[in-house]
A = this chain, B = another copy of it.
Amino acid sequence: MKLKAKLLDIQAGGRRIAILDDKTASSIGVHSSDRVEIAHNNKHLIAIVNIANNFPQNYIGLYQEISEKLGIKEKEFVDVKHAERPEALHYVQSKIRGERLRENEIRAIVKDVVERHLSDVEISSFLTALYIHGLSMDEIEALSKAMIETGSILSLNKTPILDKHSIGGVPGDKTSILIVPIIAAAGFFIPKTSSRAITSPAGTADRVEVLCPVNLTIDEIKDVVIKTKGCLVWGGALDLAPADDIFIQVEYPLAIDPLLLPSIMSKKKAIGATHLIIDIPTGRGAKIKTIGEAEAVAYDFIDLGRRLGINVECAVTFGEQPIGYAIGPALEAKEALSAIMRDGLLDLKEKAANLAGILLEMVGIKNGKQTAEYILKSGKAERKLREIIEAQGGNPKILPEDIKIGDKKAEIKAGKHGQILWINNKYIAQIAREAGAPKDKGAGVKLQVKLGEYIKKEATLFEIYAERTTKLEAAIELATKLQPIGLSRKLENRMIMDRIPKPIKHKKTFTLER
């Protein structure tokens, strides 16, 4: 059927959606959520129908994704006909019924996700079914491979290629900013891609962006890595696993994450990793609560690595408090730069040297941790970081003092003396976000205490930094409500650890950082 195009001067977030009024839809024999094939200029594509009651009859409303792809101009006639539902939808239905999917079925689903043949409603149902029924390791492998096949790759044609990943959940984890220079300075390739914060106060890409640009193309990344052996870039726009980008978008409001393993591993394979260390922060307040859970996840990563041809080792790390003291992009960049230049910040350096050490041992270096520590202490890591900053287009001479921190500041003080018993990761993250992080790069939280320390009454527990007064005030209010740091004169005085239901309920959801 010929319909007149009405172009909507707007994108639909990558989706391929066509608008029809009820009568026109009925003439074509389609309902809302059905598919139509739209043809124009010898090109055609499949779109998903949305019904708008007051839309003019015999018109088809097209978002830019469609009109640009087919080169359709306003009021041109296009051919529109009913299209069958994609085969992949049957496999989604199989998964809803709890069946195991075969490789070709998973490949069909991933392909149709990337080509936008499946709607968000269908993808949501698929992800929910995956979450509830779980995935076999064969399904995880097939999903990973299909995600890699449908994405871009970084081909360095070098081997070995080392990489590091943290499954996240602990604020202030700027370890990668130390590990990448250590590994590169040791002479190994480490093309590190990182994510930006979605629900946390800072992702590694947000932190590094304070030091230099992170939004590089694949070709630019290649140049940086050939020159310096390492990089610290944002992976989000590289299209390494476009299916995963869509899955993450749909998962976000649901706060479920059934594809953790394929999501991480497909991107590692796409940059050509041969040796990978995975950091699994563990403890109360981390994603993984116990060492038992951490080990189960670790063996899954190792198994999947073997299936994909990546040598994987995992480190279960202490996740009950932030890494270092700083939380927020600029605060953390400053802290990482200080750490690589100067003495101090023992927990951050200890973690970085340990993880870098495991990686080095995986490629045959003896005494990995000591080697990493030497590279740090000797200034080689700092020089390498500055090389990378320069190669990515930043100022290689940058000093910690050059990094601008929010000029609005508040101190949160202890109401009594005692020992620090816990630091609530989630609350610290919420306070940093309330102060403006990650958007306001200078905003965040700076701890003045860590677990186990003894402090006096009126000593500062942490500082809040913000770029705007209203944000600072909101963060102070939240900090007062949440009381993220617990201390006690004597342990016996704090036998009541929690109260249920909580007197104050704060409803932000923190997940899905990759």
Contacts and interface: CB of A to CB of B under 8 A. Distances in A.
Interface string A86-124: 010110110010100000000000000000000111111
A183 B124 CA distance: 45
B131 A96 contact: yes
For chain A, the bracket of interface size reads 35 or more
A238 interface: no
A252 B54 contact: no
A4 to B, nearest CB: 15
Number of copies: 2
Interface of A: 8, 10-13, 19, 26-27, 29, 31-34, 50-55, 61, 64, 84-85, 87, 89-90, 92-93, 96, 98, 119-125, 127-129, 131-133, 198, 249-250, 252-256, 433, 439, 507-509
A101 to B, nearest CB: 15
Contact of A8 (B8, B29, B33, B439): B8
Given A124-B125, A198-B31, A249-B33, A132 B98 contact: yes
Given A11-B53, A53-B11, A507-B84, A121 B31 contact: no
A14 to B, nearest CB: 9
B254 A122 contact: yes
A87 to B, nearest CB: 8
Nearest to A27: B439
Contacts of A90: 507
A93 B19 CA distance: 31
A8 B11 contact: no
Nearest to A64: B54
Contact of A121 (B27, B89, B93, B121): B121
Interface centre among A84, A85, A120, A132 (most CB of B within 10 A): A132
A33 B256 contact: no
A245 to B, nearest CB: 11
> Which 4 pairs from chain A and chain B are nearest by CB?
A124-B124, A128-B128, A33-B253, A11-B52
B11 A439 contact: no
Given A33-B252, A120-B121, A128-B132, 15 more contacts: A10-B52, A11-B52, A31-B252, A32-B249, A84-B508, A85-B507, A85-B509, A93-B256, A96-B254, A121-B250, A124-B125, A124-B128, A125-B127, A125-B254, A128-B129
Contact of A32 (B84, B252, B255): B252
Contact of A253 (B13, B52, B122): B122
B254 A128 contact: no
Interface centre among A12, A54, A129 (most CB of B within 10 A): A129
A120 B122 contact: no
A52 B11 CA distance: 5
A250 to B, nearest CB: 6
